[in-house]
């Protein structure tokens, strides 16, 4: 069974009756799926552990799949919203779009659709700014970075500045491929995200 199929099955497993009442859905790519890391070591896993200590009414549903684009996210978000009824959604997508040279306007349109789907389901949203490699030149990278700022402002949601950019230039923080952060970097990635989502962690249980 390949990884994508396994992740899709996990998303449809029954939720434990003992689960915390409020869920935080992470819709991301390899940066959030734990690519190249031992189980339990990704920043999302560490977020789950931190929630257990500091916000025990919350639990994480990790819907991240390595290689996903914003278009893949659009195919998967609505079923995940209907299944898990999250109170919060973190969208960490766009890096793979940028690696393929997807026009910024297309990335923007897809992100807006994702955000509005989550909002329509009653969730608050945080948008994690994607890292952009310099493959397509500075103007392209600047256009992609700007669209995250613009989308977050226009949709009135939280924007988390690039949460991997600092670790990417720090010694000893990247895997051999120089694209994915290693285990040492995951705590710093979580620390970069946490201040932006912590004020949103007010648990209001939805009625089914």
Active site residues: 30, 177, 180
CA dist list (Å): 207 to 13, 16, 201: 20, 17, 18
Are residues 152 and 127 in contact, defined by beta-carbon separation less than 8 angstroms?
Answer: yes
Q: Which residues pair with 158 in a beta bridge?
A: 126
Are residues 24 and 207 in contact, defined by beta-carbon separation less than 8 angstroms?
Answer: no
Burial of 121 from C-beta contacts in 10 A (0-12 / 13-18 / 19+)? buried
Are residues 21 and 44 in contact, defined by beta-carbon separation less than 8 angstroms?
Answer: no
């Amino acid at each position: 069974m390949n990884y994508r199929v396994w992740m899709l099955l996990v998303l449809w497993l029954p939720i434990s009756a003992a689960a915390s009442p409020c869920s935080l859905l992470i819709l991301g790519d390899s940066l959030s799926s734990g690519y190249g890391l031992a189980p339990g070591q990704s920043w999302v896993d560490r977020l789950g552990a931190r929630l257990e200590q500091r916000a025990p009414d919350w639990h994480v549903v990790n819907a991240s799949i390595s290689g996903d684009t914003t278009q893949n996210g659009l195919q998967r978000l609505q079923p995940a919203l209907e299944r898990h009824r999250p109170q919060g959604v973190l969208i960490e997508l766009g890096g793979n779009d940028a690696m393929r040279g997807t026009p910024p306007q297309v990335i923007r349109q897809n992100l807006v659709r994702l955000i509005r789907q989550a909002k329509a389901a009653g969730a608050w949203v945080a948008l994690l700014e994607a890292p952009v490699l310099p493959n397509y030149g500075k103007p392209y990278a600047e256009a992609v970075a700007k669209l995250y700022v613009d989308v977050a402002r226009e949709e009135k949601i939280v924007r988390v500045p690039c949460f991997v950019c600092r670790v990417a230039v720090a010694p000893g923080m990247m895997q051999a491929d120089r694209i994915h952060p290693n285990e040492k970097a995951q705590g710093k990635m979580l620390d970069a995200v946490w201040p932006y989502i912590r004020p949103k962690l007010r648990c209001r249980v939805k009625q089914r």
